[in-house]
Structure formats: structure tokens, C-alpha cells
Copies of this chain bind each other. A is one copy, B any other.
């Protein structure tokens, strides 16, 4: 006997489909197959694919920590938020493009943005610019999440021909650890926030 359907069960099944087969594989038909039911019975629990996407968004956003914005300087808080955002999405790389290009209706996500924007504007950022800061830090995080989930041999010294000595030399001394992508993210996030601090002219921590 299959367990009873519920929103939670459909959400878990939808996440599995996206994680295993990619975002395009998420259809109501594929979901019905995964939970072994008729397509029509899914609609007793969710209104359709759009709602499922917002449920998945809420599930990922639940892991992102915004608390620092109410206790720390904006630049420090932005860094902590970005790191927690990265970890949440690095577990679901196939969701990145889907969530980054689907209109946001999930209220928990909007509440998270509200908190970021509130802290940035209180720290002296103009209201319109605070949205640009939010967007560009998010873009940095999502692009970095893709780099972090990439296989370790993405850019392999052994694949670089001898005619490209600068790249061969640099790869030879790079940290060949699983942490190379994280180190690059740290370097970039630190630089990005330093540049934003310079632009804002606001006090740093």
C-alpha cells in the first residue's frame, strides 16, 4: 500500500525529480508517476507546477539564515547571509536556474528579501540600490554554487596543452582540493563586499 498523498509528500517527490533528472523533468505527469497515482489526484493537494516550484523555493529558503541582519553591521551580515545562501543552493544545483528565472511568489522568500533590504536601507543604501545589491550578491552566490558542485577535474592541468604555459603553471600551484571552489568564492565574496562598502561609504565592521 502506498502512503497517503500530502503536500509534503508531493514536495519531497518533486525535489527528487529535479535533483535527479533536472528541472525540465518536473511535470505533473512525472510527479504522478513518482508517487504512483493518477495525475488528477495531485490536484487535491497542489494547484499545479507553479505552486510546486514555490514550495521548493520555500524549502530551500528555509535553510538560509538572515538573522545577522538584525544584530551585525550590514557588510558582515551580507557575508553571513551569502554563505548560508550558498550552502542551501549547493545541495540543489538543478534548482538554481529554475528558481532564478521563475517569478517569486513564496512569502517566506519575500520576507527574507524584506529583511535584507530593511538592513541595507537603514545602513544608508538608497532604496533602489538596495535591490541591486541584493540581486548582485544573489547572482554571485548562485554562480558560485554551480562552481562548488562542479567535479574537481573541471579545469585539469593534465588537459591543458603545453602551448598554454600560464594556465598550466597556475593550475600546478592551485590548491587541488575540493576546497578550491570555496576558496574562490571566499575571495570573490570578500572583494565584492569590500567594493560595496567603498561605494556606500558606510562604516564597516
Q: Give the interface size bracket for A toward B.
A: 35 or more
CA distance A194 to B200 in the complex (A): 13
Number of copies of this chain that the complex holds: 2
Complex interface: chain B residues within 8 A of A132 (CB) = 174, 180, 183-184, 187-188
Residues in A170-187 with C-beta less than 8 Å from chain B: 170-175, 180-181, 183-185, 187
CA distance A142 to B136 in the complex (A): 11
Among B93, B138, B151, which residue has its beta carbon within 8 angstroms of that of A147? B138
A205 within 8 A of partner (CB)? no
Complex interface: chain B residues within 8 A of A199 (CB) = 187, 190-191, 194
A76 CB, min distance to chain B CBs, angstroms = 15
Closest 5 CB pairs of A and B: A136-B188, A143-B143, A191-B195, A22-B24, A139-B143
